[in-house]
Structure 1
Amino acid sequence: KGHNLFGMKGEYKGQYVTMMTWEVINGENVQVPAKFRKYPSWKESIDDLANLYLNGVSWDKNHYRAVVGETDYQKATAALVKAGYATDPNYATKLNSIIFTYKLTKYDTTEGLPDNPDEPSNPDPIVDLPSKEYDGKDITLNQSLPKDVYFPKLHVASQDDSQAIEVIGADPDLLDDTTGKKDIEFTITRTADNGTEYDLLVNDNILYLDEKKFNHQKYFITDIAINQEGTLSKKVTASHVYVVTLNNHYVEDTISGTFTVRKMLDFVFKGTKLRYIFMDKESEFSSVEQENFGDRFGNDLMDEIVE
Structure 2
Amino acid sequence: MIDLKELKKYCNPSYLTIRNDKIIVGNKGLARLSKEKMRKIENDFGIPVVYSRVFEEISERMGRFVSKNNIISPKDKILVGLSGGKDSLALLHLLEPYRRKYGVQIYAVTVDLNINGIRPWTESNKNVEKIAEHCKNLNIPHKIIAHDGNVVEMSKILSENTKGIEYSPCFSCSMVRRHVLTNYAKNNFESDSNVKIAIGHTLEDNSDTIMANIFKGNIIKALEPIKNFNETDVDFNDFKLNLKSCCMIRPMLNVSEEKIIKALVECDIEYYKDKDECPYSRHNGDGIRKKSHEVLKSIEEDVPNIREMVISSILNSIEHYKQK
Larger RCO, structure (CA 8 Å, separation 6 or more): 2
- Larger strand fraction of residues: 1
TM-score by length of 1: 0.21
| Higher Rg of the two aligned structures | 1
- Larger helix fraction of residues: 2
